Copies of this chain bind each other. A is one copy, B any other.
Amino acid sequence: MKTRLCSATKEVIIGDELPTVLIGERINPTGKKRMTAALEAGDLEVVRKEALAQVEAGADILDVNVATAMIDEVVMLPKVVQAVMDTVDVPLCLDSSKPEALEAALKVYKGKPLINSVTGQKDSLRRVLPLIKEYKAAVIGMTVDDEGIPNDVERRVAIAHKIVERAEKLGIAREDVIIDCVTMTVGADARSALVTIESIRRIREELGVNITLGASNVSFGLPNRDLINSAFLAIAIAAGLNCPVINVVKMRPTVLAADLVLARDKNAMRYIKAQRQGR
Q: Report the separation of the CA atoms of residues A265 and B218 in the bound assembly, to the nearest whole angstrom.
A: 14
Q: Report the separation of the CA atoms of residues A272 and B190 in the bound assembly, to the nearest whole angstrom.
A: 13
Residue A230, interface by CB 8 Å: yes
A257 close to B238 (CB less than 8 A): no
Question: What 19 additional pairs, Cβ within 8 angstroms, besides A193-B263, A223-B272, A231-B254?
Answer: A186-B268, A190-B260, A194-B263, A222-B272, A223-B275, A224-B253, A228-B257, A228-B271, A230-B231, A230-B254, A230-B257, A231-B234, A232-B234, A232-B257, A232-B261, A234-B234, A235-B238, A235-B261, A238-B238
A260 touching B186 in the complex, CB below 8 Å, given contacts A197-B238, A235-B234, A235-B235: yes
Residues in B whose Cβ lies below 8 Å from that of A266: 190
From B186, B194, B197, B227, give the contact of A253 (CB < 8 A): B227
- Min CB distance A116 to B, Å, is 24
Residues of A within 8 A of B (CB): 186-187, 190-191, 193-194, 197, 218, 222-224, 227-228, 230-232, 234-235, 237-239, 253-254, 257-258, 260-263, 265-268, 271-272, 275-276
**Which of A190, A230, A257 gathers most chain B CB within 10 Å?**
A257
Copies in the complex: 2
Where chain A touches its partner, the secondary structure class is: helix
A261 close to B193 (CB less than 8 A): yes
B234 close to A262 (CB less than 8 A): no
From B231, B239, B258, B276, give the contact of A257 (CB < 8 A): B231
A224 close to B263 (CB less than 8 A): no
B227 close to A193 (CB less than 8 A): no
Residues in B whose Cβ lies below 8 Å from that of A231: 230, 234, 254, 257-258, 260-261
Residues in B whose Cβ lies below 8 Å from that of A271: 222, 228
Residue of B nearest to A232 (CB): B261
